[in-house]
Structure 1
């Protein structure tokens, strides 16, 4: 009898976890190919309407997916070889423009402002991905990936680090310098926790965010790195690479979305109800309807 009492709770926990995982994706939802006419898609960022900007870095363009009619248009040519994108709290588009190792702000009229062009008079390695805090601070990762369009062939900043732009005075500070190759980054909507993927070491960490933007309490979240990342309204964290892997708050893998591509670069939530998972993978864009939602806007 005692054995049965011990077994039953375990079974219920397993069933609950299984049910939770199954409920993430909407019932009967299927992965849909939106378009496959690009060279390499990256950096999806959602606006208030649920539309999503994304990049095609080899073609040097930023595109816009419409949540209303599922169509894609070109938003910006000569896009600075942008990679990661994010919408700031004023509705402007931020872009990791690694052609000249910069971070850009692009307003609604497509005017470009360079926010960061160097660190201590040294060229950045190549801003890759970013996240904006509720108070307007900007975290961005700066790994080094040798690009075919660069004339340089080595780093000016030896370490591949994570930086923070203080919204009060626009100063730039290093907040993580002990990672091999930081790449994907995402924070919780309350601004208290930051996740950083160290793709070079195949690990993802969580950090506590302090009021001044510094990071403490570095904790291993999971033994998997990631290219891009997002988070849903249940606190689940989405990592990319071979498809999309979904982890709960404890770092336990609860679901996987298989993508028939060699690499899945990035992911975010969009759509009118913010329940469409938007996936960039190689030359393609995919979507799938979810039972969870994004946390932006």
Structure 2
């Protein structure tokens, strides 16, 4: 079934019951969107990012300028999970239910227990401060991959990086020794892996490229393949293997072959995306000062 491209101008309201039009939907399979409208949940933030879902379907996301991590429950309620987060950016849940975060205030990785207890799991790279861990994905075996671009922050005392390049890093489960997993990328940002642990997608946001790598048994990345000619901030995958990119004014959805099958315009510009809800069929979108949801006909796999 083909959906005709349309544009609806909607008024952005600040109440949680407001709705925003899902504009500019391109042709796509009829089993993708369950609704035509994106629901505005809240607009009470400074810059939302780093959304990830726990085993119960609750979504946790960061508001980096305000140094907070929020929880959006399956009951639709918002609450603060943690204050003073080390300026958390990207996040991901491990199998034990700990929220692993990219705490870029001092270039660290944190593990935060369900009760909010913080453990620093990575402080530096051979004594040098990391640029600013941005986004993270955890392999089913517990290994971690994260991007480390340098974006100058107004809350940093430093004004230049310790490291010469922006790279993708690998941290084996139980190890304190981080390794470069992929270099030669201008500005790595969004990252996500397949649920079987075989492939990793990495976005080069400045080059406008998204690559697909094979994950070897020793954790190395091989077979670098340009899969999409577009960069991304946050990324996610659905059960059909479709890749969701966030950049500029929209969420862009590509099939596993790298062909764009849908475009979703979101006011305020999306920064990250994940699937939440008890059935993992609610697309949760962070967009600068706002957060949004959209009911889907597909489920997330993160």
Deviations along 1:232-260, one digit per CA (max 9) or x if unpaired, are: 00000000012100000000000011101
Distance 1:152 1:170 in 2: 24
1:29 Cα shift?
Answer: 4.0
**How far is the alpha carbon of 1:162 from its aligned partner?**
0.5
- How much does 1:23 deviate? 2.2
Aligned length: 278
Q: Which residue matches 2:210?
A: 204
Q: Distance in 2 between matches of 1:274 and 1:184?
A: 20
1:230 alignment partner in structure 2: 236
State the match for 2:187 in structure 1.
Answer: 181
Unaligned runs of at least 5 residues, structure 1: 1-10
CA distance in 1, matches of 2:174, 2:47: 36
- Aligned mate of 1:116, from 122, 127, 130: 122
* TM-score, structure 1 as length reference: 0.91
Distance 1:131 1:289 in 2: 24
- Is 1:25 equivalent to 2:33 in the alignment? yes
Rounded to whole Å, the distance in 2 between the matches of 1:51 and 1:248 is 26
Which SS does the other structure have where 2:65 is aligned? helix
- Kindly name which structure, 1 or 2, has the bigger radius of gyration based on alpha carbons: 1
Task: Compute the RMSD of aligned alpha carbons.
Answer: 1.5
**Structure 2 unaligned blocks of 5 or more:** 3-25
Q: Which residue of 2 aligns with 1:288?
A: 294
Instruction: Give 1 or 2: higher helix fraction.
Output: 1
* Counterpart in the other structure of 1:92: 98
Tell me the TM-score normalized by structure 2: 0.90
* Structure-2 separation of matches of 1:107 and 1:93: 6
Q: Which moved more, 1:170-179 or 1:121-130?
A: 170-179
Residue 108 of structure 1, CA deviation: 1.6
The residue number in structure 1 matching 2:58 is 51
Output the CA distance in 1 between the equivalents of 2:106 and 2:207: 26
> Does 1:127 pair with 2:127?
no
